[in-house]
Amino acid sequence: MPGSGKSRSKPRTRPGARRRGVSALIGTVVATLALLIATPGTATAAGAAEPTEPAFGSASLGSEIRERESVQRVTEDEIVTPLATVEGVDVSSHQGNVAWSTLWNAGNRFAYVKATEGTSYRNPYFAQQYNGSYNVGMIRGAYHFALPNNSSGAAQANYFVDNGGGWSRDGRTLPGVLDMEYNPYGATCYGLSQSAMVNWIRDFSNTYRARTGRDVVIYTSTSWWTTCTGNSSAFGSTNPLWVARYASSPGTLPAGWGFYTFWQYTSTGPTVGDHNVFNGAMDRLQALANG
């Protein structure tokens, strides 16, 4: 290339040739950079995009557990359960308008719907999902994604109850769920000590019971519970357990619970992804709804 940087004696350089060589080099560099920018997936280590924080409100039941714990793809036929179980699903805004009749025809008989997160997020699809599951015959309930560094347990429990997380003795409404899992927006345990986390959960649970007369179901994984509460046994005698483990068995349960009430066993099930089993026959699920 003329003027490419290998200097020779001046008589071999025509007037203006060096200037044109530099211009050509600059043009080549610019064109190469433009090509890199325009080509998907092309980036150097120095120019790689930084990971972005999830959008507020985007967290859902188990979304962070799936990101940080071992996941096996299993089907309903592959899981080890008691003889009597009931199949159900959980949904959030990720699923949008849900085909409830499809799920009902596939044998699902209960649904949990995300209602709230923190004290400022409400699921925009809540009405379609909560009422739609009820209208096809399912027993349904609502869940709250906890953000313990956002506000007190009491404040979030009140927000949850005020925005779809309440309970009524109609035989078709399950008690609300408190989703305790990894922080999607920061530190695993939300910056709380283990004792502070236990107190936060107790604050939420006590407030929910005062508002509804029911003990909130606690959703968690054994790993998160051990890390962030010190494997507290404080809630095993009062609050039903919903354990998350994507494998053929629920594994070791958190301290204090001798059995699970719900088990989320997959995030890759038909129609909506998250599928669960209730630990008991249909009449026991109805008893849980009746209180």
- Residue 274 annotated among the catalytic residues of the structure: no
The one catalytic residue among 64, 117, 181, 215 = 181
Establish whether 203 is a catalytic residue.
no
| Count of Cβ atoms closer than 10 Å to residue 268 Cβ | 13
Q: Is 76 a catalytic residue?
A: no
Helices then strands, each counted (H, E), the chain: 8, 9
**Token representation of residue 61:** 């039941």
Pick from 226, 278, 288, 274: which is nearest to 253 by CA? 226
DSSP E strands in the chain: the ranges are 85-91, 110-117, 121-122, 139-145, 177-179, 217-220, 241-244, 262-269, 273-279
Give me the torsion for CA of 115, 61, 142, 205, rounded to 10°. -100
DSSP-based three-state secondary structure for 90: strand
**What is the torsion angle, in degrees rounded to the nearest 10, for the CA atoms of residue 229, residue 190, residue 275 and residue 83?**
0
Q: Is 94 helix (H, G, I), strand (E, B) or coil?
A: helix
Q: Given the structure tokens 């980036």, which residue do they identify?
A: 43
Q: Which of 69, 87, 90, 117 is catalytic?
A: 90
Residues with active-site annotation? 90, 179, 181
